């Protein structure tokens, strides 16, 4: 096998891989968007009818479908304009290094401790809250339209923000790194028809922002006092304080840290064995 053949094979593999990645990403977006699911079914229906019309030699139907297929892509671009813009913004907002990855273990534990303390208080007194923690995908667009704070995280400040007489209590609070960046943020509400009708606006907003970004959205229900966390468009409902704490620590933990910690533990064990010998 020559070098030219190998390079040609690699180019073909790369070409197919890129196409599959694009299709995977499109299908992933379709799965979480009700409008796109309906349009996808409509397109699939038109393709099936077109195949049947060709097989049965249905001239009129075939001619009409040819016009639909010819002008369909332009119509889809117009219909999907908000979704296309959202996908492009999603790609543009992705950061190579997330803010949470620079946090130390002590900082992460302090952040989670303060959040859980605030949530525990708000659960008892039925104070509604929506706290969103930024990760790899920037939330700057929502920060720009909200009230800037740039304050250190504390349970007292979080409780004060969501206190019923506070003008900012209806919106969401955004956390970047170890700071409360803004309050009163307005997030997109999920339109998923499978969501329980018992869930309020805060839960739908948490699912909405977690479907568009990789953030962690923490919700305290004003009606029931239950604590929930939304990640990747999935709502973990009615969590205990301990389960919420473990989940937050796990989600905020950088991926690379697992490998580093394992290597450090192995070195410590080797050094301990040498000292014992």
The whole-number pLDDT of residue 24 equals 76
Answer yes or no: is pLDDT of 100 > 50.
no
Enter the pTM of the model: 0.63
* Of 92-101, 150-159, 174-183, 263-272, minimum mean pLDDT range: 92-101
Give the C-alpha distances (Å, rounded to integers) separating 65 from 50, 70, 75, 78.
6, 8, 14, 19
Cα gap 220→129, rounded to integer Å: 5
At the second CATH level, the architecture of 99-256 is 3-Layer(aba) Sandwich (3.40)
The whole-number pLDDT of residue 12 equals 85
Q: How confident is the model at residue 258 (pLDDT cuts 50, 70, 90)?
A: very low
pLDDT (tens digit per residue) in 134-181: 998 888 889 989 999 999 999 999 999 999 888 888 899 999 999 999
Answer yes or no: is pLDDT of 99 > 50.
no
The whole-number pLDDT of residue 83 equals 62
CB atoms within 10 A of CB 165: 5
> What are the boundaries of each domain within the chain?
3-93, 99-256
- List, as one string, the DSSP characters of 223-254: TT--EEEEETTEEEEEE-HHHHHHHHHHHHS-
User: Using an 8 Å Cβ cutoff, are 252 and 235 in contact?
Assistant: no
User: Rounded to the nearest 5°, which phi and psi values hold at 6?
Assistant: -65, -45
pLDDT (tens digit per residue) in 216-244: 999 999 999 999 999 998 999 999 999 99
């Amino acid at each position: 096998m020559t070098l030219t053949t190998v390079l040609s094979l690699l180019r073909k593999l790369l070409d197919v891989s890129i196409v599959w990645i694009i299709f995977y990403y499109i299908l992933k977006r379709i799965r979480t968007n009700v409008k796109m699911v309906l349009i996808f079914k409509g397109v699939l229906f038109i393709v099936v009818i077109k195949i049947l019309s060709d097989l049965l030699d249905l001239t009129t139907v075939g001619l009409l479908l040819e016009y639909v297929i010819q002008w369909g892509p332009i119509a889809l671009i117009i219909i999907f304009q908000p979704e296309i813009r959202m996908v492009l913004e999603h790609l543009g907002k992705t950061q190579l290094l997330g803010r949470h990855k620079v946090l130390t273990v002590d900082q992460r534990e302090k952040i989670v401790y303060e959040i859980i303390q605030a949530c525990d208080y708000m659960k008892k007194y039925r104070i509604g809250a929506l706290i969103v923690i930024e990760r790899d995908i920037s939330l700057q667009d929502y920060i720009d339209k909200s009230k800037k704070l740039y304050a250190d995280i504390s349970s007292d400040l979080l409780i004060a923000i969501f206190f019923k007489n506070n003008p900012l209590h209806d919106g969401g609070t955004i956390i970047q790194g170890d700071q409360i960046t803004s309050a009163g943020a307005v997030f997109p509400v999920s339109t998923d028809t499978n969501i329980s009708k018992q869930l309020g606006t805060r839960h739908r907003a948490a699912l909405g922002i977690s479907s568009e970004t990789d953030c962690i959205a923490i919700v305290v229900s004003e009606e029931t006092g239950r604590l929930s966390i939304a990640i990747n468009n999935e709502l973990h409902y009615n969590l205990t304080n301990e389960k919420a704490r473990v989940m937050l620590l796990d989600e905020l933990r950088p991926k690379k840290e697992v490998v580093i910690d394992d290597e450090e533990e192995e070195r410590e064990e080797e050094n301990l064995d040498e000292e014992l010998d």
